[in-house]
Amino acid sequence: DTEVTQTPKHLVMGMTNKKSLKCEQHMGHRAMYWYKQKAKKPPELMFVYSYEKLSINESVPSRFSPECPNSSLLNLHLHALQPEDSALYLCASSLLPPRADDGGSEAFFGQGTRLTVV
C-alpha cells in the first residue's frame, strides 16, 4: 500500500469560514508534508512534520495551521483565507524525515484537495 489519502477532493469556502483538510497514510511513514500548488506552477513546500513534530514552516501565514494528531494523520486547518489562497493542496509522506547527511527517501503524494476561496 503506497497510498496517501486526502479529503476532501474539492472544497469551496468563504473568507470567513473555518475548514480543515485531512491527509492519511498507513505506510508507517514518519515524515509528512503539506505543499501548495498554483496553476502551472510546481508544488511549493509549506510544512514538514517529522515524528509528529513540526520541523519546517516555510514562512506560511498563520491563517494556515497544521496539526499532526498521530503518525498516520495530518491536518491543515484553514481560517480567514483570501481568494489568492485558492490552489491545489498536496499532502505527501516519506519513510524517514529529510536529513542533511543522507539522500532522503522518496515521498508519496496524495491526489490533492482543490481549494477555492470565494
Confirm if 115 and 64 have CB atoms less than 8 A apart. Answer: no
Q: Which of 14, 18, 99, 116 binds another protein (CB under 8 A)?
A: 99
Binders of another protein among residues 63 to 92 (CB under 8 A) are 88, 90, 92
User: Cis bond leading into 97, ω under 30°?
Assistant: no
Q: How far is it, in rounded angstroms, from Cα 76 to Cα 80?
A: 13
Q: Which of 45, 73, 80, 95 binds another protein (CB under 8 A)?
A: 45
What's at 76, amino acid-wise? L
Q: Which of 32, 48, 74, 117 binds another protein (CB under 8 A)?
A: 48
Interface residues with another protein (CB under 8 A) are 2, 4, 6, 33, 41-43, 45, 48, 50, 55-56, 88, 90, 92, 97-100, 102-112, 114
